[in-house]
């Protein structure tokens, strides 16, 4: 069992905030660190993941402490799943089911525990639990891995595979958008339906990345509309793509990406067969 514990300065650095911010969050009842007999604050990995979630909810979602507490209030809920059964006031299912809830339902239907999925994907139990509650906090790479372990795709989780193919026309600026689950990555659908070819438009904020390498069956094509993108294949082959550049590669090769441009990068990204 991982029993590594971090001092407040280390935990603050890992969460991207200052030690004084962690002390403030403690007074706001957002986090309760482990205390030694001498009163020293310590943070295990689960608490550090919670800190990262709090920081994300505060900086990216602009939530105040009360709203953050509400988002985190089901932290200790057991596997009965009662708090995840979202319903409308009339008792019907909501039109838009949060992607985290979809992941939880798929996991439970498959008879898998949080620990089993975490072990299969390399995602921590704390991260996965937080994502199931808030639909936030997993990188693009991590969510892709979780979806694959549960036998689904990001497109399916986003409700983009409901149509049976055939024709698909999407007008300029009317692109359906996948739920935003990681900072700075927006994926817009350019062709709806259960198609062999998956066509998406990626908008990447400065610094946005895949946060790790991933691989799968198929082929990929990228065309940079604006900005620039760094692609890394096989862990040691670096390609810098600029506006107007195109790139093809086989998806089975480990690949990762990073927007090192000082502005937004926009891409046309095609996968076949559909894997996201």
Q: Report the CATH architecture of 164-272.
A: Sandwich (2.60)
Q: How many percent of the chain have pLDDT more than 70?
A: 84
* Residue ranges covered by each domain of the chain: 5-71, 82-156, 164-272
Which among 143, 150, 123 has a CA at the least distance from the CA of 115? 123
- Please say whether the beta carbons of 198 and 272 come within 8 A: yes
Banded model confidence at residue 132, pLDDT cuts 50, 70, 90: confident
**CATH node for 82-156:** 1.10.260.40
The class of domain 5-71 in CATH terms is: mainly alpha
Q: How many percent of the chain have pLDDT more than 90?
A: 30
Its pTM stands at 0.55
User: Tell me, what's the pLDDT at 160?
Assistant: 58
Range of weakest confidence among 71-75, 167-171, 243-247, 254-258: 71-75
pLDDT digits (tens, 9 = 90+) for 97-118: 678 888 888 888 888 888 889 8
Across all residues in the chain, what is the average pLDDT? 82
pLDDT digits (tens, 9 = 90+) for 150-174: 988 777 776 655 455 567 788 998 8
Which residue spans within 145-264 are E strands per DSSP? 185-189, 198-204, 219-226, 228-233, 237-242, 246-250, 255-258
């Amino acid at each position: 069992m991982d029993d590594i514990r971090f001092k407040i300065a280390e935990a603050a650095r890992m969460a991207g905030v200052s030690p004084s911010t962690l002390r403030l969050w403690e007074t706001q009842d957002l986090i309760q660190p482990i205390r030694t007999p001498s009163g020293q604050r310590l943070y295990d990995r689960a608490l550090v993941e919670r800190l990262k979630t709090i920081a994300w909810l505060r900086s990216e979602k602009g939530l105040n402490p009360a709203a953050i507490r509400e988002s985190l209030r089901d932290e200790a809920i057991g596997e009965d799943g009662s708090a995840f059964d979202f319903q409308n006031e009339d008792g019907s299912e909501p039109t838009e089911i949060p992607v985290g809830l979809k992941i939880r339902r798929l996991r439970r239907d498959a008879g898998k525990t949080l620990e089993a999925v975490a072990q299969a994907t390399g995602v921590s139990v704390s991260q996965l639990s937080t994502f199931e509650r808030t639909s936030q906090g997993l990188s693009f790479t991590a969510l892709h891995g979780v979806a694959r372990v549960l036998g689904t795709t990001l497109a399916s989780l986003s409700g983009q595979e409901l149509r049976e193919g055939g024709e698909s026309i999407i007008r300029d600026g009317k692109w359906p958008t996948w739920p935003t689950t990681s900072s700075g990555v927006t994926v817009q659908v350019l062709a709806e339906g259960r198609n062999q070819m998956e066509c998406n438009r990626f908008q990447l904020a400065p610094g946005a990345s895949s946060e790790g390498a991933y691989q799968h069956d198929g082929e990929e094509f990228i065309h940079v509309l604006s900005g620039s993108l760094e692609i890394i294949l096989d862990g040691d082959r670096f390609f810098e793509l600029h506006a107007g550049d195109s790139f093809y590669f086989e998806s089975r090769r480990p690949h990762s990406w990073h927007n090192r441009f000082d502005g937004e990068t926009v891409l046309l990204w095609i996968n076949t067969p559909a894997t996201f």
